């Protein structure tokens, strides 16, 4: 335990040292780019301590504030389960606040003559350097952890649907450093295996199993009797095991999960209060970037349209009726990739469907044209949906838009997907495309709705590019 604590302090010292160094490099870079704005020789010593520099106090204060805010934001430790995007967002928020504090300090103390351009460039370099460092650091930690460094043995209470889904997600993310040793389940026989993971015993066997298997974290995925739950918490606390709870119904409810208190009682709340603001920000993002993409791709779109006309008779575009947000029906645009009378042949091919759920897809669909096969493989047929995005029927990122006949109104999960705009790309696109089962598609869609942010959309858009270029999983 003592060595583990010493290691944590050493890592924190390394992180602080790196931030100090990078902040100094950021100020130095800003000054080197705009030397005519300053009246002293540009050296690190002169920036912070030089007598010829009337603004050295500002640079020292800014560095100190950055370190304090990064520390309070938890940026001097690697939280493995925090996504890279959220860590970058934390860096941005901390450094925006630091810049604001320094700006107010300059005004209050009445420090005159500090160049605004130097201030702006310093902020940009600080954010850039600290972001790049954290991306490199996270990649290094993920590599070490995925190769066995500092992994944690985990036991999951409940071998049901939620427990198995959690195990699957943990296995997909070796960078988290979680090793599922087994399940505790009061309703399944001991020594039975669920998807290759053993049932180690009952909840009453927790302490014995935790000591035997060197368990460091326990995930509770089911409702437990109050006495059983209290005893489990007390035992975990006594032997130093971290306890984590999976919220019930997490996959069904949209909005944000927040924690608050009523007196001394902690409350978890699912809330949609921020939906309007989020949708407004998402709409602005969609309009700006869809316009940019349309202008850049216009010559390419024209070339594809000509190739389609030369390849087979029929229109350039295919329009299909889809459900949008709040059940609004719209005509989704695609480049035509099938023969002109493709829909008439649907019934005779339906028995060959290779996808579960209401979606219809077959790998070697005889209705697809030669040029259409290429368009589908690289998702080029989806590009006209940029106009749907611009119109407001779709978003750049969101749940897959289903055909009206594919939506089952009695399925709550499908109806919850209609709380947001459907997207051109999404988690289904970057994690398997047509090879994804319908059940998994619904699960990813609900996770996306619950965890949406602009940074998540940007992350998905960037991950879509290599997936589309490789052309895997599309037909």
Cα gap 355→403, rounded to integer Å: 15
Inter-residue long-range contacts of 54-57, CB under 8 Å, 24+ positions, other chains counted: 54/113, 55/111, 55/113, 55/114, 57/111
The predicted structure's pLDDT at residue 307:
93
Q: Which residues contact 472 (CB under 8 A, 6 or more apart)?
A: 433
pTM for this structure? 0.54
DSSP string, 81-124: TS-HHHHHHHHHHHHHHHHHHHHHHHHHHT-----HHHHHHHHH
Coil vs helix vs strand at 140? helix
Q: Where does 276-386 show beta strands of DSSP type E?
A: 317-323, 329-335
Write out the two tokens for 338: 């099938």
Element housing 397 (H / E): strand 395-397
Could you tell me the CA-to-CA distances from 143 to 11, 139, 460 in Å, in that order?
Answer: 16, 6, 22
β-strands 197-201, 178-184 pairing: parallel
Other C-beta atoms within 10 Å of 297: how many?
15
Domain ranges of the chain: 2-146, 152-246, 275-470
Task: Answer for the pair 202, 225: CB distance below 8 angstroms, yes or no.
Answer: no
Mean pLDDT by 10 residues, the chain (475 residues): 66 91 93 81 84 86 93 81 76 91 86 85 93 88 79 90 88 84 89 88 90 91 86 89 80 60 72 58 87 92 93 89 86 89 62 55 74 88 94 91 66 69 86 65 79 81 81 58
Cα gap 176→145, rounded to integer Å: 7
| Domain 152-246, classified CATH 3.40.50.1580, yes or no | no
The predicted structure's pLDDT at residue 121:
92
Task: Answer for the pair 455, 85: CB distance below 8 angstroms, yes or no.
Answer: yes
Q: Which residues contact 435 (CB under 8 A, 6 or more apart)?
A: 473
């Amino acid at each position: 335990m003592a060595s583990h604590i010493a290691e944590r302090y050493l890592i924190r010292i390394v992180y602080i040292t790196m931030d100090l160094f990078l902040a100094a490099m950021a100020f130095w870079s800003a000054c080197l780019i705009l030397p005519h704005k300053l009246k002293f020789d540009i050296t690190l010593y002169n920036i912070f301590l030089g007598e010829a520099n009337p603004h050295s106090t500002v640079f020292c204060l800014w560095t100190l504030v950055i370190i304090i805010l990064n520390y309070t934001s938890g940026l001097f430790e690697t939280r493995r389960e925090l996504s890279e995007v959220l860590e970058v967002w934390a860096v941005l928020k901390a450094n925006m606040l630091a810049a604001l504090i320094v700006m107010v300090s300059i005004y209050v103390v009445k420090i005159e003559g500090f160049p605004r351009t130097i201030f702006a460039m310093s902020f940009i370099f600080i954010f850039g350097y600290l972001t790049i460092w954290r991306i490199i650091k996270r990649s290094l930690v993920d590599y070490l952890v995925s190769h066995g460094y500092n992994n944690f043995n985990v036991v999951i209470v409940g071998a049901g649907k939620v427990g198995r889904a959690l195990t699957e997600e943990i296995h997909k993310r070796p960078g988290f450093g979680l090793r599922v040793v087994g399940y505790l389940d009061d309703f399944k026989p001991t020594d039975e295996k669920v998807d290759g993971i053993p049932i180690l015993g009952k909840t009453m066997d927790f302490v014995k199993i935790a000591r035997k298997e060197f368990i460091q974290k326990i995930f509770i995925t089911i409702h437990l009797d109050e006495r059983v739950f209290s005893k489990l918490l007390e035992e975990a606390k006594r032997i130093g095991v971290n306890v984590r709870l999976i919220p019930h119904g997490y996959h069904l409810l949209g909005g944000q999960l927040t924690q608050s208190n009523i007196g001394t009682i902690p409350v978890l709340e699912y809330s949609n209060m921020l939906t309007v603001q989020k949708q407004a920000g998402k709409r602005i993002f969609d309009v700006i970037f869809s316009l940019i993409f349309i202008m850049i791709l216009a010559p390419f779109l024209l070339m594809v349209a000509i190739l389609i006309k030369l390849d087979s008779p029929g229109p350039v575009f295919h329009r299909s009726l889809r459900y949008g947000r709040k059940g609004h029906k719209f005509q989704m645009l695609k480049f035509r990739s099938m023969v002109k009378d493709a829909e008439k042949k649907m019934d005779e091919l339906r028995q060959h469907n290779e996808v579960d759920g209401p979606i219809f897809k077959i790998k070697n669909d005889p209705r697809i044209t030669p040029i259409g096969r290429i368009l589908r493989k690289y998702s080029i047929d989806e590009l006209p949906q940029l106009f749907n995005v611009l119109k407001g029927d779709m978003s750049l990122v969101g749940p897959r838009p289903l055909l009206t006949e594919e939506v089952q109104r009695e399925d709550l999960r499908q109806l919850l997907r209609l709380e947001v705009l459907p997207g051109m790309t999404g988690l289904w696109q970057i994690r398997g495309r047509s090879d994804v089962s319908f059940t998994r598609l619904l699960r990813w869609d609900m996770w996306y709705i619950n965890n949406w942010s602009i940074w998540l959309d940007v992350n998905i858009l960037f991950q879509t590019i290599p997936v589309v270029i490789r052309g895997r999983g599309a037909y």
